[in-house]
Amino acid sequence: MLVKIETYFDGEFWCARGTGNDIFTQGNSLDELYENIKETVACHYEDLDEPIWAAPLSGQDRGDIKIGFRCPSGL
């Protein structure tokens, strides 16, 4: 499954919101934001038993980064 995430800086925090789903998170840095994206997407799709790719979409981030992971059991 591919989850598209729009990332942006709001002047205080790095923010991420899903396109086509109810996902939102933020972080103080891009590294923290990407960790928070993984956690938020895993919680949102906790019943899904397939690999998940989160694709942050923005002209401000690190380019074509895709975050791959599986939802951990027992969240």
- How do residues 9-49 score in pLDDT, each as one tens digit? 999 999 999 888 899 999 999 889 988 988 888 888 888 77
Query: Residue 69: helix, strand or coil by DSSP?
Result: strand
| H/E run at residue 44 | helix 30-44
Query: Residue 4: helix, strand or coil by DSSP?
Result: strand
How far is residue 51 CA from its own chain's centroid?
Answer: 14
- pTM of model > 0.75: no
For the segment 46-56, the average pLDDT, to the nearest whole number, is 77
